[in-house]
Structure 1
Amino acid sequence: MKYEKNIKASSGYLMLIVLSLIVITMVVGLIVMDNPLFLTFMLPILFIGRGFFIVTPNSSKVMVLFGAYKGTVKSNGFFWANPFYTKQRLSLRARNFYSERVKVNDKIGNPILINVILVWKVSDTYKAAFDVDQYEEFVRVQTDAAVRKLAGSYPYDNFADGEHELTLLSGMDEVNEALENEITERLAIAGIEVMEARIGYLAYAPEIASSMLKRQQAVAIVAARKKIVEGAVGMVEDALAKLSTDNIIDFDEDKKASMVSNLMVVLCGDKEAIPVINTGTLHS
């Protein structure tokens, strides 16, 4: 049998009544009738007593008879089953797994620190009990392997302006979906259902963090300067067109070049401009 089989065990309360009657009969026989043969009732008492078990909410009992899987009891309550069954308890509750931060290389070779938050539960008790050895350890190792594979499939960030490549930092929803699919595929062999998987921590490794911060700052400065220059050029064009349209001043090529130069310096400078009053002509 390679799949889970749900079975219903006998009521434990009914067998408890039977056990009580046997115990009462033995006690009466020993005390009232003073017959030592009633001591043989100990055998069925011990036999029946070993068959009782309890299944709590969101848990199960895997039944095995001399190495053969007989089924799984998932119903809650007090039950009795064949005393020769071995009863392995498996929890069906949802569990959180917060993995250790691991250092891996992203797609372009940068060392990063990453970990994952995983919510999972056992969905197939047969696979969890018999297809893998220590399914909880299997979840830990396979999750770690999935995180390493995911980190190597995407760059941490995209510094090239104008490109839209999916990255670990910017494409969090898509990356988390890919991570969940990868972990689900890996844990299916153990009968594990992945309820949620997402990146919990993501950062550059300490040895390159400061350098990458400077790189990010440089990229931000270049992008900001580009926007400033684009805006300044537009403002200069508007200013020259307005002056010419309103006939405020006649520009020759030299005057126009001088005006453009002065406006660009004022608009693009990172410090406040200091005005200089010219009391002569533009050529003085």
Structure 2
Amino acid sequence: MALSSPPDPKRKGSGCAISVAAVALAAVLLMVWAYVSVQNWINPPPPDVHKIATSADVAGADQTATVQLNNTLAEVHTTIPWIAAVGRSADDVCSTSDNIAFIGEKPKWSPVSCIRTTAWFGAFDGDLPQQLARINQALSKAGWMPQGTPMDQLFQIDQAHAATASPTPGRPRLAYAYGSYSNGGQVLNIEVTQLPGMPFSDIPQVRPTATLPAETPLNGPSTFDREHQSVSIASLTQKAGGGNRYIIGVELNSRYYTAPVPSTSAPAAPSQGTGYACRTGSACVGG
């Protein structure tokens, strides 16, 4: 009868050490998982805007929207043919935004949506109040009705207020007019400025002194610029020539794509409105 050998103390100790190490590793992995889970709850990652913005679906929708916007602006120009075309701009952006409905609620990202904004610029001269009334009449005749007070009347109201205001030393007051017009499905934003003023100078695609490249790269994880074509006041002034004192900007935009809402994502983006704030994407065509 063979006798069994006694247990090896060294082997027993090694097994215990392995067990302790495994437990420790499991504990570390559990802590990492818990940390990542908490971080994803507090600050969930946004949708892959770059992937969606460069997809075939977005490219096709963008092409359709581009043709529609360009055709509409061309029709508007034929409505006011005495105004000389001096430039165009375009801004095409896909983006998402996070929002928290209630304190303590998990933040949610809105579905990625893409908006294209196109503007046409023209130059003209003459008596400005008369020119504004002429533009208003021509647009109305073509089916573009003013959204609220017509542009020529808004200008008169602003001029009356300006007459009672104190002038800013060293800063001449330039003539300025604005208005919104709709044909029932699209909204035009219009601004008229006296040179060297610039229509829509507070938005990215219009630069006071320089132009930007046609395309810009990713601006962070929640925004992607598909196209950026800007204009400068120098180029508009040069094309306007010495005989024109005023520049008109006619802007139109389209929310041409909204990504499908996954079951775990935020509800759809807010519905579109109407009016002059269209350049922010709140009143857009094709939504």
Query: Which has more radius of gyration?
Result: 1
- Common topology (TM > 0.5): no
* Bigger helix fraction: 1
With the length of structure 1 as denominator, give the TM-score of the two structures: 0.26
Q: Give the number of the structure with larger relative contact order, counting CA–CA contacts within 8 Å between residues 6 or more apart.
A: 2
